[in-house]
Chain A
């Protein structure tokens, strides 16, 4: 019974993904929409990759890292060097960007993951800034004026990477390894006492998360013709953080939805440049006031359907029922 339901959901998701891909591809190739909107769609896809990868670190493993733009930058610059300076194809650039970011993630992760909460946040924030300043001072990649990159990112690339990110992180989360990460988030001391090597799982989450941030960075680099260190400041890290928090910490679909909605909002607001950031901030404040645990809380979109179907006893949600 359960297995049948799962496989049904599996095929439905495949169908949905395929339909989404085809529709967007047709719309783009038939030139129904202008370049600007195509660009927005690409950005959305890249933001989804970044949001989902940060979701693994913050939402699942509970490590409050706010230096995600640093990994984005490492991925962007590494891939750009591979494609522009070394003449490699985009695929090599993507892999190299991901690996370089993963290595950076491990280097920053191993010493700093012993820190907790606020201290980890500050350490990762510092990491992001160090990366930015470093790129700022390397002449080989253009220094402050940046690096010209050819436009290679296309919808199939973005979609493929997005799908891969979501699948890998979903599969990881829904396994004993993901549960180990969640147990670290819930109570590190208890996780340790249950035989979970907490440091190992924190580093693994950091590694996977930063790998995909690097892949996102590679796509980013080949989407905008130019990359500059100033694009990867801490405000970029906060943009990604906002997707994860607004979507609901611990909810991957929440992060995806928040990335889509906020990119849309930000796009619609470009017509009112003088009030844009005010309205954007207001939307964030209002959302957090009415949904303090994010759009979806810790739930996933899929659970909204399954829960309704087999409603059998026991409160499922701590928000609405309190147990004395």
Chain B
């Protein structure tokens, strides 16, 4: 696997908020097709790191290469178009929009009809909208969400909202999917279903996945490699087996050993 060029290469990336170094000197390489975990105690900077990758924050130091191109100063919508898509720790659906419209928003950048042709209702408005509708419906079926297609997103049960958020992120047609604690608030059964779903989409869409997760058993079970973040810095990196026995990781999670 290491023979490929990396899909994502993070080079000495960091961000300071005033005097606070939220993330510092992070190096990371993701290769096509990998499922990599990112763990760390609360406040370690995991979500901040996602925000750096997706352009919500601009890193104060370092470079981020996606498919060989430095995306450090790109706005989020451009980064999404280049092929990085994400979900959020606190679900961020378009609550008042219907389930199908949530997915259609992700298809927006593929729209062939202009604002003018929509206003004038030119033929390519209708064909464009119809194409989106069909694609979105097909997508919902894939995730067993088509039964809810006309319901408002906010009225879905919690587990389905998570599912919809993942579906919506995938509709944006990413090569790299960033999942921010997708199992948060789920019971063990739902978590197991979620893991099946992640395995399924990975296969189906040829994805590379970076996963933030608190549930250690889950991360250890599915990830091929794991990065550990603490106080904004990478403290360890390796296979689940290596991470499990890494002294620094144990220290970060359980505290220092009393000598």
Binding site for B on A (CB under 8 A): 168, 171-172, 175-180, 182-183, 186-187, 189-198, 204, 250, 298, 313-316, 318, 321, 323
Q: Is the Cβ of B97 less than 8 Å from the Cβ of A315? A: no
**B129 near A: Cβ within 8 Å?**
yes
By beta carbon, the residue of chain B nearest A171 is: B119
A310 CB to closest chain B CB (Å) equals 9
State in angstroms the CA–CA spacing of A313 and B150 once bound together: 10
With a cutoff of 8 Å between Cβ atoms, the chain A residues found around residue B151 in the complex are 314-316
Name 19 interchain pairs, CB-CB below 8 A, sorted by A: A176-B107, A179-B97, A182-B97, A186-B93, A186-B94, A187-B93, A189-B76, A189-B88, A190-B92, A193-B54, A193-B88, A194-B85, A194-B169, A195-B80, A195-B81, A198-B77, A313-B147, A316-B150, A323-B154
A264 CB to closest chain B CB (Å) equals 30
With A195-B108, A318-B154, A323-B156 in contact, do A298 and B96 touch (Cβ < 8 Å)? yes
Q: Is the Cβ of B77 less than 8 Å from the Cβ of A190? A: no
State in angstroms the CA–CA spacing of A168 and B116 once bound together: 10
With a cutoff of 8 Å between Cβ atoms, the chain A residues found around residue B75 in the complex are 192, 197
With a cutoff of 8 Å between Cβ atoms, the chain B residues found around residue A314 in the complex are 148, 150-151, 155
Interface string of B77-113 (1 = CB under 8 A from A): 1001100011010001111110001001111110101
**B123 near A: Cβ within 8 Å?**
no
Q: Is the Cβ of A315 less than 8 Å from the Cβ of B155? A: yes
Q: Is the Cβ of A183 less than 8 Å from the Cβ of B155? A: no
Which residues of B (111-147) have their CB < 8 Å from a CB of A? 111, 113, 115, 118-121, 125, 128-129, 132, 147
State in angstroms the CA–CA spacing of A286 and B154 once bound together: 28
**B243 near A: Cβ within 8 Å?**
no
By beta carbon, the residue of chain B nearest A180 is: B108
State in angstroms the CA–CA spacing of A175 and B120 once bound together: 11
With a cutoff of 8 Å between Cβ atoms, the chain B residues found around residue A321 in the complex are 155
> Which of A177, A189, A194, A313 has the most CB atoms of chain B within a 10 A radius of its CB?
A194
Which residues of B (149-180) have their CB < 8 Å from a CB of A? 150-152, 154-157, 168-169, 172
Which residues of B (13-64) have their CB < 8 Å from a CB of A? 54, 56
Select B128's contact among A176, A193, A194, A195, beta carbons within 8 Å.
A176
State in angstroms the CA–CA spacing of A189 and B96 once bound together: 16
Q: Is the Cβ of B125 less than 8 Å from the Cβ of A175? A: yes
Q: Categorize the interface residue count of chain B.
A: 35 or more
Q: Is the Cβ of B113 less than 8 Å from the Cβ of A175? A: yes
With a cutoff of 8 Å between Cβ atoms, the chain A residues found around residue B94 in the complex are 182-183, 186-187, 190-191
With A187-B93, A204-B115 in contact, do A179 and B148 touch (Cβ < 8 Å)? no
Q: Is the Cβ of A192 less than 8 Å from the Cβ of B76? A: yes
With a cutoff of 8 Å between Cβ atoms, the chain B residues found around residue A177 in the complex are 111, 115, 118
A177-B118, A316-B152 given; 15 more Cβ-contact pairs under 8 Å: A168-B119, A171-B118, A179-B97, A180-B105, A182-B101, A183-B94, A187-B92, A192-B75, A194-B105, A195-B109, A198-B77, A315-B155, A318-B154, A323-B154, A323-B155
State in angstroms the CA–CA spacing of A179 and B132 once bound together: 12
With a cutoff of 8 Å between Cβ atoms, the chain A residues found around residue B120 in the complex are 171
> Which of B93, B152, B154 has the most CB atoms of chain A within a 10 A radius of its CB?
B152
A188 CB to closest chain B CB (Å) equals 10
State in angstroms the CA–CA spacing of A98 and B118 once bound together: 20
> Which of A172, A192, A298 has the most CB atoms of chain B within a 10 A radius of its CB?
A192
A195 CB to closest chain B CB (Å) equals 4
Q: Is the Cβ of B96 less than 8 Å from the Cβ of A186? A: yes
With a cutoff of 8 Å between Cβ atoms, the chain A residues found around residue B154 in the complex are 318, 323
Q: Is the Cβ of A318 less than 8 Å from the Cβ of B101? A: no
A31 CB to closest chain B CB (Å) equals 38
Select A175's contact among B80, B81, B118, B147, beta carbons within 8 Å.
B118
State in angstroms the CA–CA spacing of A177 and B115 once bound together: 6
Select A179's contact among B76, B81, B105, B150, beta carbons within 8 Å.
B105
By beta carbon, the residue of chain B nearest A174 is: B118
State in angstroms the CA–CA spacing of A187 and B95 once bound together: 9
Q: Is the Cβ of B118 less than 8 Å from the Cβ of A182? A: no
By beta carbon, the residue of chain A nearest B86 is: A193
Q: Is the Cβ of A196 less than 8 Å from the Cβ of B129? A: no
With a cutoff of 8 Å between Cβ atoms, the chain A residues found around residue B156 in the complex are 323
State in angstroms the CA–CA spacing of A316 and B153 once bound together: 10
State in angstroms the CA–CA spacing of A172 and B115 once bound together: 7
B79 CB to closest chain A CB (Å) equals 9
Which residues of B (210-253) have their CB < 8 Å from a CB of A? none
Q: Is the Cβ of B88 less than 8 Å from the Cβ of A176? A: no
A110 CB to closest chain B CB (Å) equals 15
With a cutoff of 8 Å between Cβ atoms, the chain A residues found around residue B118 in the complex are 171-172, 175-178
State in angstroms the CA–CA spacing of A300 and B97 once bound together: 14
